[in-house]
Amino acid sequence: MFTACFVTAAMILFFNKKYYWSLFVLALICMQTQPLTLLLGFVGLVTILENGINKRNIIKVVLLGSIALLPSLFYYIHYGTTNLIKDAGFLDTKFITLNRVSGFYFDFNQGLIITIPIILLMYIPLLISEAVNVLRKKTKLELSLLLPLCIIAISITISTMGNWNHGMAIINRYASWMSCIIMVHVFYLTDKLSDIRSAVLFNYYFMFQFFTTLYHQRINKLDWSQYQHTPLAHWFW
């Protein structure tokens, strides 16, 4: 909940062009959730390009981003390493597979698809629509359009985690906060559409998220079993 709230706040600040505040909030949450360092780097790069490549701007970005390094500094001082999880052998690039990365988004047991179903499916069409408008010079190119590349990079990074099984058939713990990045981006992309289109889509988003919440509130014996598929996965396959 802490990570999800901070990520949401940081992305809202980012899309409202309050870059320094977005960096500060992201740096705080990166102390707890290291994979978000990639998002921190992305926002930092956008901040430098948008606010100008000058000494003052770069120093501000570096100082704010440095907050995220405090835990690594603490571990290095006390344990001689910046990452205890990696030294314990829980991180390895051999765990990065196409099945794992794609499953992070579309697995019906614990993927993003069961977290933000209609929002995730609408993300690509909205990105394409925005790109087409940029090519036709109807809208100005914004660096936020490259955000999906950062999202994919984060999903690849977290795929290095060996302990991928949560001991239950439930939404992936990383998907819980990754969905916030996509939701906020989809909100702003939808808001750029015509009034009628955006109103229709926002209603669909609300309706699907309402029923998604009701679905996941059910408590039954299958919820905590890592050996069986969720009822939704059973139905789909």
pLDDT at residue number 10: 97
pLDDT at residue number 11: 97
pLDDT at residue number 171: 77
Phi, psi at residue 197, to the nearest 5°? Answer: -65, -45
Task: List the alpha helices (DSSP H) in the chain.
Answer: 2-15, 19-30, 37-51, 55-66, 70-79, 84-87, 98-106, 117-135, 147-158, 173-191, 195-216, 231-236
For residue 140, the tally of other CB atoms under 10 A from its CB is: 7
Cβ atoms of 187 and 134 closer than 8 Å: no
pLDDT at residue number 41: 95
Q: CA 116 to CA 212: how far, in whole Å? A: 8
pLDDT at residue number 86: 74
pLDDT at residue number 44: 95
What single letter denotes the amino acid at residue 175?
Answer: A
Q: Quick one: which of 118, 134, 145 has its CA closest to 207? A: 118
pLDDT at residue number 178: 92
Q: CA 182 to CA 76: how far, in whole Å? A: 34
- Mind giving me the DSSP string for 173-204? HHHHHHHHHHHHHHHHHHHTS-HHHHHHHHHH
Q: Name the stretches of the chain with pLDDT < 70.
A: 165-170, 218-227
pLDDT at residue number 38: 95
Q: Where are the domains of the chain?
A: 1-84, 89-220+227-237
Q: CA 126 to CA 190: how far, in whole Å? A: 7
- pTM of the entire structure? 0.88
pLDDT at residue number 222: 55
Report helix, strand or coil for 161.
strand
